[in-house]
Structures are given as C-alpha cells and as structure tokens.
Amino acid sequence: MTSELQLGIESVVVLSLYLALTILIGFVANSRSRSHSPNDYFLGGKTTGALLLFFTMQATQYSGNAFFGFTGMAYRSGLIWILAIPLIGLIITAQLSYAPRLYRLSHRFQYLTPGDFYAHRYQSKALRLIVAALTIVSMFPYLMIQAEATGHAVETLSSGALPFWSGVVGISVVMAIYISVGGWQGVIWTDALQGVLLTIAMLAATWTGLQMAGGLPHVLEYLSETKPSMLQAPADVESMTSQWLSLLIVSAIGFAMYPHAIQRIYAAKDETSLKRSFTMMLLVPFVLGGCTLLIGLTGLTLYPDLSIAESDRVFGYLLARLASEHHTLVLFVLCGLLAAIMSTASSVVLTLSSIFTRDIYQAAIRKDASQRELTMVGRVFTVVILFVVVLLSLNSSLTLWRLTEIKIEFLMQLFPPLILGLYWQRMERVSALAGLLTGSLVVAAMILSGFPRWWLFQAGLYGFFVNLAVCLLLPRLLSASKEEVASTAEIFQVLRQT
C-alpha cells in the first residue's frame, strides 16, 4: 500500500471519528438543555464564563480562512503579510470599543441578535429587517470559505481519492445535525475542544513545515535570491496605502462586526467574564498572524510557482508533503483543521438561524409564535442555510480572500450606527437608516460596476466614509420622535451605570 493511499484511508477514518464525536456532543448537549427557548438554544441562557468564552471567540473568529485564506494571502504577499499581526490586534481593539457598553444593554434588555440593538436603540422595525438581510447576505461568502476550505483539505490529504465536493457536502451534513440538535451548548462545547486543537495544529504545522524547508534562515535566503520582491515593502506611500492601509482599516472594522462575535458578547455571564476573555484574546494575533506568515513563506520556498487559485491550497500542499515523514502529525493537523472550520461555520450558522428566527420570522411573519415554535424554525433554517452554502461553494470561482473582502466590506457598514448609537445620544433613526443604506449601496455599486478598488481605497472604505458622513451630519438637521427620545434616554441611563 502506498503512503498516499494509506494517508487517504487513515484521514477518512480520523475524519469519520471526529465527525461522529461532534454529533455525539450535539445529542449530549440537547439532553442537558434546560429549556427549549430561543434564549437557551441560541445563547445558552447567557451563562458562558471567561475561559469558555475565550475559546469560542478564538475558534469562531479564525478558522478555515486562517488555514487557507490567510496562508494563501501570505503566499501571494510575502513578508509584508507580517501586517496580519497588527491587523488582528486592530480587530480586537475595534470590538473592545463597543463590547462592554453593548453587553450592558444586552443584559438589561435581553438582546438575542445584533438586530435587537438596532431595533431597540432607534425604535425601527425597518432597521431590524435591513440589518438582518445585510448580515445574512454578507455572511454567506464566509460560510462558503469554510465549506471550500474543507473541500480543499479533504481532496489534498486523501491524494484525490475523495473529491472536493465530498468534503463540502460531508461537513455540511454533520454540522446540520449537531447544530440543529445541540444548539448553543453543542456549538460551544465543541468550540472548547476545537480552539485547543486549532492552536496546537497551527503551531505544529508551522514549525515542521519550516524545518522541511531548511529553517527560516534558509527560506529567507532562498527568497532573497529568487523572489526578492516577496521580502520588500511596497515601493511608495501610495502603493502602501492602496494595498495595505485600506485593507487594515476595512478588515479591523469588518471583522469586528461579525454577528456571531456580537452574540458571544451577549452570551457572557457578566461583564467581568467578557473583559477577561478579551484580555486573553490579545495573545491570538501573535500566534495566528505569525504562523500564517511563516506558512506562506514556506510555501513560496517549496512551491514557488502556484497560480492565484492554487495559492489558496498552499497549506494543503504543505501537509501532503509532510505526510510521508510526519504521518501522525498530519492526521492531528487534519483534526485541528476540521475543528477550526467547523467551529466557525457552526457558530455562523447558529447566529444566522437566530437572526432569521427573531428578526424576520417573529418580527414580520409570526409575531405571536411560541418559544418552542421559534426554536424549531431556527433548526429548520439551519438546514436550509447549509444546503444553499453547499450549492454556492461547489460553483465558486473567487479566491477565498476575495470572498472574505466582499463580506467585511458590507459588514463594516453596520459599525457607524452601532458605535454612534452607543456613544452619541443625539444619533437618531433616519440618520442610521440613511447611513447604512447609502454606505451599502456605494459598496454594491462599485463591486458590480467592476471597481472593487479605486485609487487608494477599497469599495468598503468609500461606503464607510459616506455612511459615517451621513450619520454625523443628518442628526444636526433632524429631530428624533418622542418615542425614540424616551427610549434613548433609558438606554443612556443604563450605559452611565457602573
């Protein structure tokens, strides 16, 4: 039996056992669930402590896009990808700008979805529906990233014995089972395991890959001789701004607005637990950013001529090369890879299910639906989401990083009405609606017209500038309704409490 065939068979066995474990966790979580309410199913009754909150935030924030999207970007960018470290740090900083204040409101007014804040703060059903629709549409590319990363991993590690589509379909079926059965408890229990596996797998693969390439000094020497541009910064300030400063701003704000990250803020058992989890998160940029950079540079040394599409698979190629000498390690990394992908995908699916259930089904279709009915709707929508994701992933022609950019450019439009709504009492409904809509339309128009980037900045940043300008100017010309004034006064009274 060849080593490739042996690895393929053992990979299938390990994959099957791991997936079976996640399904078991889902059923155990369901049996221990205290109730069938949406609050319990989607947020675990808001009782998550600091350590578990850290693991679930780390595992869901960085996953398939870290192993494949980030490493592919590092392969195409070279040493300048060291900026991934401050990039991830900026994401955490952006989240900290709103997390404590948003938590206080979520605890006092029992928020379940991101749309709950917008609807309550601005007393607007229309804003709830717009935020829900924008979030669901924006997060589909993110789910596609996870599905495609799985397909690439399964195809590469099985040496082609298992086709791309089998990974996409298989992982989606398993997630549909354990999410719909276990809900928040099923997701967060697996996240704890997956967060540990993700970190160890990334460190192990990075170190072993570097040794196979001759060590970091050899990698840098080889690149300086064969691809010196990969070790150089952009030639001028304009290039640096258009290629990286724009990316840093867009990524920091866009990633910070992940709806599943916001729901994890809601799920904290208290504000102290929330702050402690963020303190632990400050270590993540150095591990994740450093590892993805080193894997990208290693890939440039071992596979110097990959196409743009192939570069997203550089991590899989590296694992396949390691398989002959580090068989057990590759199987372990496979578990870490699948853990990373599933933790993020399952969290996003659960969040989108809650958004559809609360912000669309309950708000616009069945206002008098029972708690049990709402939970059942969430479970059904979980299956629907994953079915659509599979169809889209099997026919995607974009790189994983481009899918990431599209997602965050739309998500960042949610930031101005959020941050101004938390800090500026004069901010009102019409301004929030106008800013969000105009910013999103600018992004959509630029992307659809073939100008995803113009001059120095990406489409998302132009949309954000327009959005922010509208949100800052209109409140000086308009007055809020009496209903909104009363609600805002109550909100800021809660925010002023220590």
- pLDDT(420) > 90: yes
- pLDDT(432) > 80: yes
pLDDT given for residue 94 in this prediction: 92
Q: What is the mean pLDDT of residues 211-228?
A: 93
**Cα 344–Cα 432–Cα 488 angle in degrees, nearest 5:** 100
Mean pLDDT over each residue of the chain, to the nearest integer: 83
Q: Residue by residue, what is the 3-state secondary structure of 127-193?
A: HHHHHHHHHHHHHHHHHHHHHHHHHHHHHHHCCCCCCHHHHHHHHHHHHHHHHHHHHHHHHHHHHHH
Q: Where are the beta strands (DSSP E) in 332-400?
A: none
In the structure encoding, which two tokens stand for residue 6, read together? 């042996």
| HSE, side-chain direction, 13 A CA sphere, residue 230 | 25
Identify the three-state secondary structure at position 326: coil
Length of the chain counted residue by residue: 498
Quote the DSSP letter at residue 360.
I
Total-model pTM: 0.83
Q: Read off the pLDDT band of 89 (50, 70, 90).
A: confident
pLDDT given for residue 116 in this prediction: 95
- Rounded Cα–Cα distance for residues 181 and 340 (Å): 20
Q: What is the mean pLDDT of residues 356-363?
A: 91
pLDDT given for residue 130 in this prediction: 93
Q: Is pLDDT larger for residue 233 or for residue 298?
A: 298
- Rounded Cα–Cα distance for residues 69 and 406 (Å): 13
Alpha-carbon dihedral of residues 236, 242, 243, 246, nearest 10 degrees? 130
pLDDT given for residue 31 in this prediction: 64
Identify the three-state secondary structure at position 458: strand
In the structure encoding, which two tokens stand for residue 177, read together? 């089972």
| HSE, side-chain direction, 13 A CA sphere, residue 201 | 26
- pLDDT(436) > 90: yes
Domains and CATH numbers, the chain: 3-399 (1.20.1730.10)
Quote the DSSP letter at residue 49.
-
Q: Read off the pLDDT band of 56 (50, 70, 90).
A: confident
Selection from 328, 297, 335 nearest residue 315 by Cα: 297
Q: Is pLDDT larger for residue 181 or for residue 463?
A: 463
Identify the three-state secondary structure at position 421: helix
Selection from 408, 411, 433 nearest residue 135 by Cα: 411
Q: Read off the pLDDT band of 16 (50, 70, 90).
A: confident
pLDDT given for residue 35 in this prediction: 54
Beta carbons within 10 angstroms of residue 126's beta carbon: 13
Q: Identity (one letter) of the amino acid at 109?
A: F
Q: Read off the pLDDT band of 456 (50, 70, 90).
A: confident
Beta carbons within 10 angstroms of residue 319's beta carbon: 26
Paired with 207 in beta bridges are none
Cβ atoms 204, 332 nearer than 8 A: yes
Centroid of chain to Cα 488: 31
- Rounded Cα–Cα distance for residues 131 and 118 (Å): 8
In the structure encoding, which two tokens stand for residue 192, read together? 């704890």
- Rounded Cα–Cα distance for residues 34 and 79 (Å): 50
Q: Read off the pLDDT band of 64 (50, 70, 90).
A: low
pLDDT given for residue 397 in this prediction: 57
Which distant-in-sequence residues (6+ apart) come within 8 Å of 22 by Cβ? 174, 175, 178, 190, 342
| Residue-wise DSSP of 341-356 | HHHHHHHHHHHHHHHI
